[in-house]
């Protein structure tokens, strides 16, 4: 099924390329693309409280630079324009308008953050500019009917907590669940995903929730309050700094719940080790990408390629950060889509190619996890795998799961 | 009951963090009549300096001492070069300069050290005490903060430089007439504040983990604590910081959902200030007619 | 500390009146010419630049509000982002939930923010200097939390997405230019209102309270009333700016109104000239363009450049651009001091 479709796609692309190479520079272009160049626009929080995500933008830039060195995409060089919006939606709107109207980019790619993306959502769809692979896991980006120019990439946060919910229902049916979450779209999506996943048992099973702000220095107080609720299962939906604090505090106060940790906050180098590796034993999390500190990948060719790329790009300081792996995979997907466009670099075709991904494998995603999209499904990654921390690394267990249950 | 005690002790531990930075804020205010918005970022930067030294193999206490010296000199230099030009300018200009410093330090740290979270070693062993109510680390922070407070108190009360500094801050003209080098006093004031900030940062980094945004939230609470205690009083800074820490925890646990914790805690503190507009231990701002 | 704020010198209009009719006529013509230029400008620029300039004007109105409170009345505020948010959300909720047309959201936003300002100004009477700074700072910090909490009204994290405003079809000028003109009108009205208020009795009372509160009280000025009024008016201006911002951007979310916004207003105020009216425009230009320029100069640490620029402006022009220029002009050939001009200390 998939082979036939990809062969068909491949054939049509081949025909297109052949046809366009016969006619001199007969490529079709939207603003931002030409025979020589493809312009890609991006906004990232390189400063401000969300600045730890800026590494994704840096990895994107480095990857595109590498592709350019290797000859570009179908002979065209990528011009990657990335600007700092400091996670402030009005700024994002301004910068995106500048990139679309002044710099004339072909597409907006990998813009980060739910509020920033929400702010530009309407504008990009109205002006028919692709909003490709925003770096946010909110559910609303999968809506091809109303927003045909927006396609997501990250497995949604609620997909992940659905997976936890199903695990809990199956293995811990009488659990009393406490939730620590960041007080914004990201944290709330996890909480709501858990609630939805538990269905009508949610009200009974979730006995306590506590939120924190990114300006809070610690989450110790929240953890203490959660323990007092008598819960025996804890879901932590937190970014690395607070995830590490939470793990440590849970251990220090002698609480031993079954602890679920969200994938954003499970990096070994930046969370598990600072928290104290022995304090994290037994924590369950989910993943879709390979953690660069996981020994089982250290000798694989894919990891070595990635590591060499990071070091060459001057990003050695980030080689323990799984965000860098994710950024790498984002960029690879973009390149795949652009390659598939051949010489038809119209915005329509870019969207079409983005919506025609079939079981695309990326080297740094977990084995078994692939990207698939269609005209009615703008959610490329729907699978994750559960893993348990053993004191040194995450050990994958079980099958690759999806939210709906296959 | 157990939860209440835990919240209080967690609050004290967090409060000690705020108190240590609040001491630095009070130091600058007493020396120069200025609130330094960049205090937290300077402390964070000092902590990175210590981190680099420790990573380079320097033993912890040696790195600590070296960082203090570097921070002291750094603080003095900043006062001379960055603050001096706006000394006689409207106060607002100086405020803007400190905001600018905040941005510069934050951006520099992010650029030099990346935004990835780093571990920072703690000189105190990692054990829990009093039946999991507190860790030795937290106790260490409280202890060091109190020690700094004591040193500051002795400095201002019993040393000639301390006296000179108080004079220079209170009435620079008269102080000059007495032969006190006011400029140098200001510089020393900034240097000391930077050093205190460095201590705060180093104590705090093992608890909060080191990244360029480490001190952002802490600065707000430190500011609140310093003012609650009275911006001119070091004792007030420590008491204020501890109160802020405990109040915030108790409010979040018992009074209101955690999503409004910060708001309500601040509101309560503002309420206290309404009744004591100069803080709990602060001296009233006397104005000559 | 109060006397450290830049001295409020009356705007050229008032001074012109005292110089005689001819000078006054010159001034009026110059101002009319400027206004004409401002109206013509959007038709020579691309949509994006028009959008940027509209942002500048919105920030100018917000900074003007801050100038009234902190510059003319000496009450420092680190929390004007909160008033800006209040105005923005008032407009957004009215438009989104109740279908109110965008121009009709301005008066309610103004009223709501005036009331908020007065409510805030009352307890603020107790505080001075750094304590007032803290109280306003608390408001700035609490604003995003409150916005997220009352999510049935505010849309919480997700914010509120607003339908795009349409320009009147009969004019045929496109949305960006139309909104530019709307905001321009509001800015001019705001400046006029501010000028009338600040050059008259109210302004003199405010400045007197700022410079010599005890003497002012002794002379019979109702200090509490004027200070609260200052807060309310200041909040009104900034709130209207917030409402306009919601209309222009078409989206509001708690992330748009962080502490950094409040600090930006303060910086813009100081850079333009804290106790001036036209300085607000300079402030708006600074807030809007300098971060972008910093971004272009340095990829690695743009905010360091932004911070550095702040420092440089304060070194060279500690009283702000307009404040320093006014100071320079005062050193020109001596003339009789105009009525209401406070004495240089």
Contact C249, C97 (CB under 8 A): no
Q: What number of CA atoms fall less than 13 Å from residue C248's CA on the CB side?
A: 33
Q: Compute the average pLDDT of residues A250-262.
A: 91
Q: How far is CA A401 from CA A163, A164, A404, C50, in A?
A: 7, 10, 8, 50
* Residue A207, pLDDT score: 93
* Residue B174, pLDDT score: 87
Q: Would the pLDDT of A10 be above 60?
A: no
* Residue C344, pLDDT score: 45
Q: How many CB atoms are closer than 10 A to CB B96?
A: 29
Tokens, residue B210: 């080191």
> Of chain B residues 169-188, which have a CB less than 8 A from chain C?
none
Contact B45, B105 (CB under 8 A): yes
What's the rounded Cα separation, in Å, for the pair B45 and B65?
15
Domain presence at residue B102 = yes
* Residue C340, pLDDT score: 46
Q: Would the pLDDT of C5 be above 90?
A: no
What does the pLDDT look like over A28-64, one tens digit per residue? 888 989 889 999 999 999 887 778 888 899 999 999 9
* Residue A395, pLDDT score: 86
Residues of chain B contacting C135 with CB distance shorter than 8 Å: 270, 273
What does the pLDDT look like over B23-41, one tens digit per residue? 999 988 888 888 899 999 9
What's the rounded Cα separation, in Å, for the pair C66 and A34?
48
Maximum mean pLDDT: which of A15-24, A320-329, B119-128: A320-329
What does the pLDDT look like over C140-157, one tens digit per residue? 888 888 888 888 888 887
Q: Would the pLDDT of C15 be above 70?
A: no
Domain presence at residue B285 = no
Kindly tell me the sign of the dihedral angle through the C-alpha atoms of B110, B114, B117, B118.
negative
Give first-to-last CA distance, chain C, whole Å: 12
Closest to B107 (Cβ–Cβ): which among C133, C267, C304? C304
Mutation site for A-interface testing, chosen from C154, C157, C291, C307 by largest number of A Cβ within 10 Å: C157
pLDDT interval class at B88 (50, 70, 90): confident
Q: A154: which residues sit within 8 A by CB, 6+ positions away?
A: A135, A136, A137, A326, A381
The least confident of A297-311, B112-126, C102-116 is B112-126
Q: B191: which residues sit within 8 A by CB, 6+ positions away?
A: B71, B72, B73, B74, B75, B76, B79
Cβ separation A245–B209 shorter than 8 A: yes
Tell me the ipTM for this assembly.
0.86
Kindly tell me the sign of the dihedral angle through the C-alpha atoms of C312, C318, C323, C326.
negative
Question: Within an 8 Å CB–CB cutoff, is residue A215 touching chain B?
Answer: yes
Question: Which strands form A77-84's sheet, in the order they lie side by side?
Answer: A77-84, A37-44, A107-109, A131-132, A150-151
Contact B99, C263 (CB under 8 A): yes
Closest to C149 (Cβ–Cβ): which among B224, B259, B289? B259
Q: Would the pLDDT of B44 be above 90?
A: yes
* Torsion of Cα atoms, B270 then B273 then B278 then B281, to 10°: -110
**DSSP at A255:** -
Instruction: Provide φ and ψ at A85, rounded to 5°.
Output: -105, 0
Contact A281, A357 (CB under 8 A): no
Chains that touch B (3 or more CB pairs under 8 A): A, C
Check which CATH number belongs to the domain holding B193 and give it. 1.10.3470
- Write down the number of H helices and E strands in chain A: 13, 14
Contact C81, C66 (CB under 8 A): no
Maximum mean pLDDT: which of A257-261, A373-377, C120-124: A257-261
Tokens, residue C134: 């803290």
What's the rounded Cα separation, in Å, for the pair B162 and B144?
21
Percent of chain C with pLDDT over 70: 90
* Residue C116, pLDDT score: 93
* Residue A293, pLDDT score: 82
Percent of chain A with pLDDT over 70: 93
- Segments forming the whole domain that contains residue B96: 2-275
* Residue A302, pLDDT score: 93
What does the pLDDT look like over A120-153, one tens digit per residue? 988 999 999 999 999 988 878 888 899 999 999 9
Q: Give the DSSP per-residue string, C133-160.
A: HHHHHHHHHHHHHHHHHSHHHH-GGG-E
Q: Compute the average pLDDT of residues B254-271.
A: 82
Closest to A115 (Cβ–Cβ): which among C52, C245, C253? C253
Q: Compute the average pLDDT of residues C35-47.
A: 87
pLDDT interval class at A13 (50, 70, 90): low
Domain presence at residue B282 = no
The least confident of A177-186, A374-383, B227-236, C336-345 is C336-345
Q: How many CB atoms are closer than 10 A to CB B280?
A: 17
What does the pLDDT look like over C106-143, one tens digit per residue? 999 999 999 999 998 988 888 888 888 888 988 888 88
Helix residue ranges per DSSP H, chain C: 12-19, 21-40, 47-66, 80-98, 106-124, 129-149, 151-154, 175-199, 201-211, 213-218, 223-249, 259-272, 279-297, 302-316, 321-330
Q: C113: which residues sit within 8 A by CB, 6+ positions away?
A: C83, C86, C87, C90, C235, C236, C238, C239, C240, C242
Residues of chain C contacting B273 with CB distance shorter than 8 Å: 126-127, 131, 134-135
pLDDT interval class at A6 (50, 70, 90): low
Domain ranges of chain C: 46-259
Closest to C52 (Cβ–Cβ): which among A94, A114, A122? A94
Q: How many CB atoms are closer than 10 A to CB A117?
A: 26
Give the predicted TM-score (pTM) of the model. Answer: 0.87
Q: How many CB atoms are closer than 10 A to CB A339?
A: 13
* Residue B135, pLDDT score: 79
Cβ separation A90–C164 shorter than 8 A: no
Contact B162, B155 (CB under 8 A): yes
Tokens, residue B53: 């030294």
Contact A88, A48 (CB under 8 A): yes
Q: How far is CA A203 from CA A191, A193, A195, A207, A230, in A?
A: 12, 13, 8, 8, 15
Kindly tell me the sign of the dihedral angle through the C-alpha atoms of B178, B183, B186, B190.
negative
Domain presence at residue B262 = yes
* Residue A23, pLDDT score: 41
Mutation site for B-interface testing, chosen from A84, A220, A270 by largest number of B Cβ within 10 Å: A220
Query: Which residue of B lies nearest to A184 if distances are taken between CA atoms?
Result: B259
Domain presence at residue B281 = no
* Residue A389, pLDDT score: 92
Q: Would the pLDDT of C4 be above 70?
A: no
Domain presence at residue B160 = yes
Nearest Cα of chain B lies from the Cα of A221 at a distance, in angstroms, of 6
What's the rounded Cα separation, in Å, for the pair A243 and A229?
20
* Residue A4, pLDDT score: 57
What's the rounded Cα separation, in Å, for the pair C265 and C62?
7
Closest to A210 (Cβ–Cβ): which among B113, B218, B258? B258
Cβ separation A215–C302 shorter than 8 A: no
Q: B4: which residues sit within 8 A by CB, 6+ positions away?
A: none
Average pLDDT of chain A is 87
* Residue C334, pLDDT score: 63
What does the pLDDT look like over C63-107, one tens digit per residue? 999 999 998 888 889 999 999 999 999 999 999 989 889 889 999
Cβ separation B103–C130 shorter than 8 A: no
Question: Within an 8 Å CB–CB cutoff, is residue B278 touching chain C?
Answer: yes
Domain presence at residue B44 = yes
* Residue C192, pLDDT score: 93
Domain presence at residue B289 = no
Pairing assessment for the beta strands A107-109 and A150-151 based on DSSP bridges: unpaired
Contact A158, A129 (CB under 8 A): no
Cβ separation A93–C52 shorter than 8 A: no
What's the rounded Cα separation, in Å, for the pair A129 and A121?
10
What does the pLDDT look like over A261-293, one tens digit per residue? 998 888 887 888 888 888 999 999 999 999 888
What's the rounded Cα separation, in Å, for the pair A404 and A71?
41
pLDDT interval class at C343 (50, 70, 90): very low
Q: What number of CA atoms fall less than 13 Å from residue C219's CA on the CB side?
A: 10
Instruction: Provide φ and ψ at A150, rounded to 5°.
Output: -120, 125
Counted domains in chain B: 1
Question: Within an 8 Å CB–CB cutoff, is residue B110 touching chain A?
Answer: yes
Instruction: Provide φ and ψ at A11, rounded to 5°.
Output: -60, -45
Q: Compute the average pLDDT of residues A234-250.
A: 92
Q: Would the pLDDT of B276 be above 60?
A: yes
Mutation site for A-interface testing, chosen from C144, C253, C260 by largest number of A Cβ within 10 Å: C253
Nearest Cα of chain B lies from the Cα of C235 at a distance, in angstroms, of 20
What's the rounded Cα separation, in Å, for the pair A84 and C173?
31
The residue assigned the tokens 């022009």 is C317
* Residue A15, pLDDT score: 54
What does the pLDDT look like over C214-251, one tens digit per residue? 888 898 888 899 999 999 999 999 999 999 999 999 99
What are the residues facing B285 on neighbouring strands?
A: none
- Calculate helix-pair angle for C106-124, C129-149, nearest 10 degrees: 140
């Amino acid at each position: 099924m998939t082979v036939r479709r990809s062969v068909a796609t491949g054939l049509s692309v081949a025909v297109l390329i052949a046809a366009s190479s016969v006619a001199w520079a007969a490529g079709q272009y939207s603003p931002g693309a030409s025979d020589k160049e493809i312009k890609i626009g991006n906004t990232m929080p390189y400063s401000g409280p969300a600045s730890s995500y800026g590494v994704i933008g840096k990895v994107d830039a480095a990857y595109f630079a590498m592709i350019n060195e290797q000859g570009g995409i179908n002979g065209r060089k990528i011009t990657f324009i990335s600007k700092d919006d400091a996670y402030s939606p009005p700024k994002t709107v301004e910068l995106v308008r500048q990139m679309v109207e002044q710099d004339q980019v072909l597409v907006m790619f990998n813009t980060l953050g739910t509020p920033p993306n929400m702010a530009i959502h309407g504008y990009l769809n109205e002006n028919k500019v692709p909003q490709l692979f925003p770096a946010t896991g909110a559910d609303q980006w999968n809506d091809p009917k109303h927003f045909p120019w927006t396609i997501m990439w990250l497995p949604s946060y609620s997909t992940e907590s659905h997976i936890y919910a199903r695990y809990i229902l199956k293995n811990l049916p009488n659990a009393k669940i406490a939730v620590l979450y960041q007080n914004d779209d990201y944290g709330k999506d996890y909480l709501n995903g858990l609630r939805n996943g538990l269905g009508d048992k949610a009200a009974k099973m979730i006995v306590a929730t506590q939120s924190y702000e990114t300006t809070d220095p610690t989450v110790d107080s929240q953890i203490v309050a959660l323990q007092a609720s008598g819960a025996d299962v804890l879901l932590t939906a937190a970014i690395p700094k607070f995830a590490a604090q939470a793990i440590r505090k849970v251990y220090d106060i002698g609480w031993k719940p079954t602890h679920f940790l969200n994938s954003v906050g499970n990096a070994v180098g930046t969370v598990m080790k600072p928290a104290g590796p022995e304090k994290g034993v037994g924590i369950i999390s989910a993943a879709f990408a390979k953690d660069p500190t996981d020994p089982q990948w250290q000798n694989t060719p894919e990891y070595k390629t990635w590591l060499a790329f990071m070091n060459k790009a001057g990003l050695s300081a980030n080689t323990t950060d799984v965000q860098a792996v994710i950024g790498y995979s984002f960029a690879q997907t973009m390149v795949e889509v652009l390659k598939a466009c051949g010489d038809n670099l119209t915005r329509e075709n870019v969207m079409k190619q983005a919506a025609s991904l079939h079981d695309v494998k990326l080297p740094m995603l977990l084995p078994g996890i692939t990207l698939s999209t269609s005209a009615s499904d703008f959610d490329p990654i729907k699978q994750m795998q559960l893993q348990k921390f053993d004191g040194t690394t995450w050990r994958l267990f079980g099958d690759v799961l999806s939210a709906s249950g296959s | 009951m157990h939860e209440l005690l835990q919240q209080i002790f967690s609050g004290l531990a967090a409060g000690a963090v705020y108190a240590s930075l609040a001491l630095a804020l009070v130091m600058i205010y007493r020396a120069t009549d200025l609130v330094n918005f960049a205090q937290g970022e300077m402390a964070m930067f000092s902590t990175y300096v210590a981190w680099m030294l420790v990573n380079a193999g320097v033993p912890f206490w040696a790195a600590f001492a070296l960082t203090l010296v570097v921070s002291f000199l750094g603080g003095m230099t900043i006062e001379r070069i960055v603050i001096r030009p706006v000394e006689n300018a409207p106060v607002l200009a100086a405020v803007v300069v400190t905001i600018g410093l905040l941005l510069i330090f934050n951006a520099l740290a992010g650029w030099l050290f990346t935004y990835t979270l780093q571990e920072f070693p703690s000189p105190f062993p990692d054990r829990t005490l009093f039946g999991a109510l507190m860790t030795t680390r937290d106790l260490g922070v409280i202890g060091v903060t109190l020690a700094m407070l004591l040193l500051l108190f002795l400095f201002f009360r019993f040393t000639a430089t301390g006296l000179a500094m108080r004079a220079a801050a209170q009435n620079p003209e008269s102080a000059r007439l007495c032969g006190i080098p006011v400029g140098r006093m200001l510089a020393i004031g900034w240097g000391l504040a930077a050093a205190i900030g460095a201590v705060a940062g180093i104590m705090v980094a093992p608890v909060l983990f080191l990244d360029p945004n480490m001190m952002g939230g802490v600065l707000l609470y430190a500011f609140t604590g310093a003012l609650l205690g009275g911006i001119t009083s070091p004792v007030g800074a420590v008491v204020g910081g501890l109160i802020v820490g405990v109040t915030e925890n108790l409010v979040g646990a018992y009074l209101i959902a955690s999503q409004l914790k910060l708001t309500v805690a601040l509101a309560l503190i503002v309420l206290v200030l309404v009744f004591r507009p100069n803080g709990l231990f602060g001296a009233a701002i006397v104005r000559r007619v | 500390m109060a006397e450290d704020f830049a001295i409020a010198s009356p705007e050229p209009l008032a001074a012109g009146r005292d110089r005689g009719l001819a000078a006054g006529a010159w001034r009026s013509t110059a101002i009319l010419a400027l206004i004409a230029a401002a109206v013509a400008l959007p038709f020579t620029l691309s949509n994006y630049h028009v959008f940027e300039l509209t942002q500048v004007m919105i920030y100018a109105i917000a900074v003007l509000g801050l100038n009234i409170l902190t510059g003319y009345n000496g009450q420092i505020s680190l929390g004007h982002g909160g008033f800006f948010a209040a105005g923005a959300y008032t407009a957004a909720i009215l438009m989104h939930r109740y279908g109110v047309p965008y121009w009709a959201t301005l008066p309610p936003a103004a009223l709501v923010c005036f009331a908020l300002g007065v409510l805030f100004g009352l307890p603020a009477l107790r505080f001075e200097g750094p304590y007032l700074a803290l109280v306003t700072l608390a408001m700035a910090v609490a604003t995003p939390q409150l916005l997220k909490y009352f999510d049935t009204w505010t849309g919480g994290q997700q914010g509120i997405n607003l339908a795009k405003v349409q320009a009147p079809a009969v004019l045929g000028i496109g949305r960006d230019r139309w909104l530019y003109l709307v905001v321009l009108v509001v800015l001019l009205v705001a400046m006029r209102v501010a000028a009338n208020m600040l050059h008259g009795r109210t302004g003199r009372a405010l400045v007197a309270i700022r410079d010599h509160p005890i003497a002012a009280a002794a002379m019979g000025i109702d200090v509490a009333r004027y200070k609260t009024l200052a807060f309310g008016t200041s909040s009104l201006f900034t709130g209207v700016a917030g409402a306009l911002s919601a209309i222009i951007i078409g989206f509001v979310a708690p992330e748009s109104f962080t502490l950094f916004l409040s600090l930006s207003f303060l910086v813009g105020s100081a850079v333009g000239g804290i106790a001036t009216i036209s300085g607000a425009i300079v402030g708006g230009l600074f807030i809007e363009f300098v971060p972008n320029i910093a971004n272009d100069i340095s990829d690695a640490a743009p905010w360091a450049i932004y911070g550095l620029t702040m420092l440089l402006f304060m070194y060279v022009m500690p009283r702000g651009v307009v404040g320093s220029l006014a100071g320079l002009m005062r050193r020109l050939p001596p003339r009789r001091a105009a009525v209401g001009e406070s004495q240089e200390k």
